[in-house]
Structure 1
Amino acid sequence: MKRPLIFLITSLSLILGSNAASAQVKIGYIDLKALIAQMPETKDVKKQVEAYQKQFIDQLTAMMNEYSDRFPCCDGYPKLTDSLRDVIGKEFQAIQKRMQDVQDDAIKKVEAKSKELYKPVSDKAISALTEIAKENGISYVIDSSKNNRLIVAFVASDGINLMDAAKAKLSIR
């Protein structure tokens, strides 16, 4: 039972290996994050994201000022009755929770807006890379950006770095 299985696996390996060896596969690589960072559109998108983010920073600053005005100092806190301390403590916790909720919501909204604004830029870069790969007969383009979780990044020894061609295609100096 084991022999036919081993024979089958060995035969398939040899057949697939010989087909792969006869096919000419070109592999290109590029640091996609670095390319996108150098595109002129990225500067505009970054400014838009920062302006959007500033709205939330201003809102949180106003909340912090309100918080500071409501609870200016705790010097008189020990002199308060237990029931007043409980009321103030609950109000204090409610404000802190509200601020944390606003901050969490702001982070989600800024991330969503950032993805929305950067999508056309990354689509343009990927489109240019697709054209370059077709023009150069490249079968696979691997993103060699650091911390890229989508693709295991590696650079083949005979791979072709597409950064210069992509920069030229996108008119980046």
Structure 2
Amino acid sequence: MKNVVVLLAIVGLIGLAGTTASAQTKIGYISVENVLSLMPEVSKFDSILSRYQADSINPQYASLIQTYQYKDSMYKDTLKPPPPAVKKQLEEELPQLINTIQNWQQIVNQAMEAKQNELLAPLYRKIYDAIRAVAKEKAYTHVLNKESLLVAPDADDMIAAVAAKLKLSLPKQTGPAAPMK
């Protein structure tokens, strides 16, 4: 009886070893940011973002300053003071305007980041679709971000295959760095 249990355990282990051997894990890696930098569309984004800031954000700031100055002068007008209800409303609005003006740089940064994300979203979608296609073609079960790896074999770097899938040209590689003496 004891021999039968041992025999079944051995057969079970052999069966498990066979199933794990057939389910190979293949891991690739890529730098999405490097692929993005190869895309010609990215070079246009600086001018688009500058135009967005000049056409949308800067006029908002000028309007905000103008509104503040108008309401502040109306509040401080000694020759023709505003009625009490208007003065009370101005007392509530002026601190809010001052706060918005003081935090304007943060507001600009958030608006610019949102616009940049809006512009880059279709490119990231193309990159991730290409990564998925290459991973499927080359039987990769996992794809990691290159920046999270300390050591990885060059053969598992997917940038060349993804760039080819997206019809991008890679920059010419200079030879490996000479060893330091």
TM-score, with structure 1 as normaliser: 0.58
User: What's the offset of the Cα at 1:156?
Assistant: 6.3
Q: How many angstroms apart in 2 are the aligned matches of 1:164 and 1:17?
A: 35
Quick one: which amino acid aligns to residue 127 of structure 1?
D
1:16-165 correspondence runs (5 A): 19-54=19-54, 55-57=56-58, 60=61, 96-145=98-147, 153-154=148-149, 157-158=152-153, 160-165=156-161
Aligned pair count reads 141
Q: Would the alpha carbon gap of residues 113 and 21 (structure 1) be closer, same or farther in structure 2, given more than 3 Å must change? A: same
Gaps of 5+ in 1: 1-14, 68-89, 146-152
2:172 is aligned with 1:172: no
* Match of residue 75 from structure 2: none
Q: Would the alpha carbon gap of residues 17 and 109 (structure 1) be closer, same or farther in structure 2, given more than 3 Å must change? A: farther
Secondary structure of the equivalent of 1:40?
coil
Quick one: which amino acid aligns to residue 172 of structure 1?
S
What fraction of aligned residue pairs are identical, expressed as a percent? 28
Stretch of structure 1 that moved more, 52-61 or 134-143: 52-61
Q: How many angstroms apart in 2 are the aligned matches of 1:136 and 1:156?
A: 21
User: What's the offset of the Cα at 1:46?
Assistant: 3.4
Q: How many angstroms apart in 1 are the aligned matches of 2:62 and 2:20?
A: 61
Report the structure number with the largest CA radius of gyration.
2
TM-score, with structure 2 as normaliser: 0.56
| RMSD of Structure 2 on Structure 1 (CA) | 4.1
